[in-house]
């Protein structure tokens, strides 16, 4: 997904259902991945992270899956609640072509929870 505000991909989910938000990353050298939640008018908030030596990590109501073969990351939210409504974006960290550690943020997906 990509964009903050305008032209933002939107996922609409019924309250109580599970949500799956996807992210494709670009750098095969990335070894650390993070999901952030950003509510309207607020700063991004850390949700969960995963290192490249793992393919799954669970938190409270959230699960992150990492598929390094296809460079894909997903965030699953169980029993989605109205308070989950926000923009979710992923970030990848890895060695850039210039030889330094670089963090690249995705543009995000807007999650709308329907009561």
Partner 1 sequence: NAGVTQTPKFRVLKTGQSMTLLCAQDMNHEYMYWYRQDPGMGLRLIHYSVGEGTTAKGEVPDGYNVSRLKKQNFLLGLESAAPSQTSVYFCASSRAGNYGYTFGSGTRLTVV
Choose between 13 and 47: whose C-beta lies nearer to partner 1: 47
Choose between 12 and 101: whose C-beta lies nearer to partner 1: 101
Check residue 107 and give left, alpha or beta (phi > 0: left; psi -120 to 50: alpha).
Answer: alpha
- Min CB(5)–partner 1 separation in Å: 5
Interface residues toward partner 1, by CB under 8 A: 2-7, 31-32, 34, 36, 41-46, 49, 51, 89, 93, 103-108
Choose between 43 and 115: whose C-beta lies nearer to partner 1: 43
- Min CB(56)–partner 1 separation in Å: 17
Choose between 53 and 69: whose C-beta lies nearer to partner 1: 53
d(CA 79, CA 2): 24
């Amino acid at each position: 997904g990509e964009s903050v505000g305008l032209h933002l991909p939107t996922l609409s989910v019924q309250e109580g259902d599970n949500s799956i938000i996807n992210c494709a990353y670009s750098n095969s050298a990335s070894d650390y991945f993070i999901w952030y939640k950003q509510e309207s008018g607020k700063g991004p908030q850390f949700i969960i992270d995963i290192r490249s030596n793992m393919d799954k990590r669970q938190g409270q109501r959230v699960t992150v899956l990492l598929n390094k073969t296809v460079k894909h990351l997903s965030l699953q939210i169980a029993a989605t609640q109205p308070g989950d409504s926000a923009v979710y974006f992923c970030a990848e960290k890895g060695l850039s072509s210039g030889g330094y550690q670089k963090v690249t943020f995705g543009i995000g997906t807007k999650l709308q929870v329907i009561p």
